[in-house]
A and B are shown apart, each in its own frame.
Chain A
């Protein structure tokens, strides 16, 4: 094997003078295969990146990208001084941070609990069922939420009979949106989110557990001293990955759940870009808001990657 690999690399070494040409001659087919791929990414990924320059334009569809007037940072300043700027920023952060603060520990605890189940068929069934909500589409999920939270919906009925809320459409009240969004997210994503942790727990050595059991450690002590340290690398890297996405809230769900009555807690950056930028026809402004969000995300990602490199000794790139 080693000999073969060496033999395989040799011709490249020999071809050093003008090696690109040599490489091209040898792998002509690969170069041709790369062309459509490069074109695809240029058109559908790089052209939009270049198009972000419209964030600095007073973009008029009639005059096009090249004909519109440059306005510098005006669109950004407009956004930062918009009356709902802080509200949108807060909503984006809170919705995402709530999901992380609640969803992350929950999926670890769920993985730990499911690991304590020794009846095989039962464990498998619960796992299978726990993935099920992930396969329910966003539209259907939102349809269910709208229906259950309506004035006479199941959830409203239950909460009213418990005396927790007054009868109303819960989705019309800005107070409840974060909770509704969080709970429906967890319903859909808990089983899915725990998959990686269940796998990590399974990989923790059984010998360590047996040795500890012989030494008289009880179940809880073993979870604390063996299982948790065993899955720590996975936990840390997942956590850092998630922190890098802290200002990312997809519009998929919120766009289907929110309404004018609850913009004050439900409007996030992505929905704002869609509503004001695309639907409202303020393309340059929308692009500027989107660019701002992308830059913040990129900074968060790079920062969490750097932290990960330093403390967890692993990194994405």
Chain B
């Protein structure tokens, strides 16, 4: 619809566009600041007190070199990728099977099963009993503690269920007549039709696993070699402990100066992959939020 441009409309438009530009600026600037700081001369960085719009001094990759030559960041990256892949496989399989079972009206167990699963959306044992279960299963300090618990959850099963519900029953009927078993129907015939929902689940899981430092911090206290990237980042950014990143020599030289640079570089290394990927996954992200049922 074409708007008539009254004076008040023009003023509103100017203010609105100005606000949107400022808002976008506010979203981007903290990360931009860190990115530019990570490329700056560490000495000038120490003296700086404002927002950094372009690298201070000559662009330097020293910080990144220091971080990348350190084993724990590489280990963390590897572990995070392992956890992302493993939990995604379990989550997708579990949600597909769960959603398929619940959407099957003729299957007499579907309603009791739905109730059984939905109870867990409303009530949970909470942190400590959950920890005790993992402990008594002997999963403490093993990667299983990160991979298995929580990978299958009621929200995604319900999301899959409504996706299955929207498929016409004819697909399954004709496949049954052709002699296909339930597993063939589920994975060969129906799953390809639900690619969008599967993509949504994968995306939310990637975000969640990428962020997940907490489970590792309580379940893997003694196994640094199994820590995900987020937990190493926590050590550096929150607990302010860069000693394990900077080499001995650097630490002696100018620990404070390099420590700052290292922090900025670690922030970028841990953030960039998702920030580069999300514009492409945006479609699924928006769709997923609209499907609802996802907690923020």
Contact A135 B94 (CB under 8 A): no
Instruction: Report the nearest B residue to A54, measured CB to CB.
Output: B129
Closest chain B CB from A291 CB (angstroms): 7
Tell me whether A82 is interfacial, beta carbon within 8 Å: no
Chain B residues positioned under 8 Å from A38 (CB to CB):
113, 116
Range, interface on chain B: 35 or more
Contact B233 A140 (CB under 8 A): yes
Tell me whether A294 is interfacial, beta carbon within 8 Å: yes
Range, interface on chain A: 35 or more
Contact A37 B101 (CB under 8 A): yes
User: How many residue pairs, one in A and one in B, have C-beta atoms under 8 Å apart?
Assistant: 245
Partner of A34, one of B101, B136, B230, B267: B101
Partner of B126, one of A23, A118, A293: A293
Tell me whether B49 is interfacial, beta carbon within 8 Å: yes
Q: How far is the CA of A36 from the CA of B169 in the complex (A)?
A: 25
Tell me whether B24 is interfacial, beta carbon within 8 Å: yes
Contact A4 B97 (CB under 8 A): no
Chain A residues positioned under 8 Å from B28 (CB to CB):
129, 132
Chain B residues positioned under 8 Å from A23 (CB to CB):
106-108
Instruction: Report the nearest A residue to B4, measured CB to CB.
Output: A213
What mask results when residues 25 to 50 of chain B are scored 1 for a CB within 8 Å of chain A, else 0?
01110110110000000000000011
Q: How far is the CA of A298 from the CA of B123 in the complex (A)?
A: 7
* B1, B117, B127, B211, most chain A CB atoms within 10 A: B127
Q: How far is the CA of A135 from the CA of B281 in the complex (A)?
A: 11
Tell me whether A116 is interfacial, beta carbon within 8 Å: yes
Tell me whether A126 is interfacial, beta carbon within 8 Å: yes
Closest chain B CB from A239 CB (angstroms): 14
Tell me whether A199 is interfacial, beta carbon within 8 Å: yes
Chain B residues positioned under 8 Å from A52 (CB to CB):
125-126, 129
Known: A290-B127, A298-B123. A139 touches B234 (CB 8 A): yes
CB-CB contacts below 8 Å: B256-276 with A: 263, 267, 270-271, 274-275
Chain A residues positioned under 8 Å from B124 (CB to CB):
45, 48-49, 294
Closest chain A CB from B86 CB (angstroms): 15
Chain A residues positioned under 8 Å from B170 (CB to CB):
1, 4
Closest chain A CB from B162 CB (angstroms): 13
Chain A residues positioned under 8 Å from B13 (CB to CB):
116
Describe A's contact surface by its main secondary structure: helix
Tell me whether A162 is interfacial, beta carbon within 8 Å: no
Closest chain A CB from B256 CB (angstroms): 12
Contact B106 A9 (CB under 8 A): yes
Contact A29 B17 (CB under 8 A): no
Chain A residues positioned under 8 Å from B50 (CB to CB):
154, 157
Q: How far is the CA of A20 from the CA of B28 in the complex (A)?
A: 59
Of the stretches B53-61, B63-71, B144-152, B244-252, the one at the interface is B144-152
Q: How far is the CA of A290 from the CA of B129 in the complex (A)?
A: 9
Partner of A294, one of B123, B169, B181, B271: B123
Tell me whether B178 is interfacial, beta carbon within 8 Å: no
Q: How far is the CA of A140 from the CA of B267 in the complex (A)?
A: 6
Tell me whether B237 is interfacial, beta carbon within 8 Å: yes
Q: How far is the CA of A117 from the CA of B263 in the complex (A)?
A: 38
Chain B residues positioned under 8 Å from A139 (CB to CB):
211, 213, 230, 233-234, 237-238, 270
Known: A47-B133, A154-B33. A8 touches B169 (CB 8 A): yes
Known: A19-B108, A278-B218. A138 touches B211 (CB 8 A): yes
Chain B residues positioned under 8 Å from A256 (CB to CB):
234, 238
Tell me whether B118 is interfacial, beta carbon within 8 Å: yes
Chain A residues positioned under 8 Å from B148 (CB to CB):
44
Contact B290 A195 (CB under 8 A): yes
Contact A126 B20 (CB under 8 A): yes
Instruction: Report the nearest A residue to B276, measured CB to CB.
Output: A135
Contact B173 A4 (CB under 8 A): yes
Contact B278 A317 (CB under 8 A): no
Contact B133 A48 (CB under 8 A): yes
Contact B26 A128 (CB under 8 A): no
Chain B residues positioned under 8 Å from A108 (CB to CB):
none
Contact B122 A301 (CB under 8 A): yes
Of the stretches A90-98, A144-152, A172-180, the one at the interface is A144-152
Partner of B133, one of A12, A30, A43: A43
Contact B237 A33 (CB under 8 A): no
Closest chain B CB from A207 CB (angstroms): 10
Contact A113 B267 (CB under 8 A): no
CB-CB contacts below 8 Å: B76-129 with A: 94, 97-98, 100-101, 104, 106-109, 113, 116-118, 120, 122-129
Instruction: Report the nearest B residue to A136, measured CB to CB.
Output: B271
* Among all A-B residue pairs, the 6 with the closest Cβ atoms: A48-B125, A143-B237, A51-B129, A290-B126, A48-B129, A45-B120
Additional A-B contacts beyond A29-B183, A154-B51, A199-B290 (11; CB < 8 A): A26-B106, A33-B182, A44-B133, A50-B129, A54-B132, A129-B28, A143-B238, A196-B289, A199-B286, A210-B1, A290-B127
Between-chain CB contacts (< 8 Å), 29 pairs: A4-B170, A5-B169, A33-B97, A34-B113, A37-B98, A40-B94, A44-B130, A44-B149, A52-B129, A114-B20, A117-B17, A126-B23, A126-B24, A131-B278, A136-B271, A136-B274, A138-B213, A140-B267, A142-B237, A143-B263, A154-B50, A154-B51, A206-B1, A210-B1, A219-B3, A219-B9, A256-B238, A273-B126, A273-B127
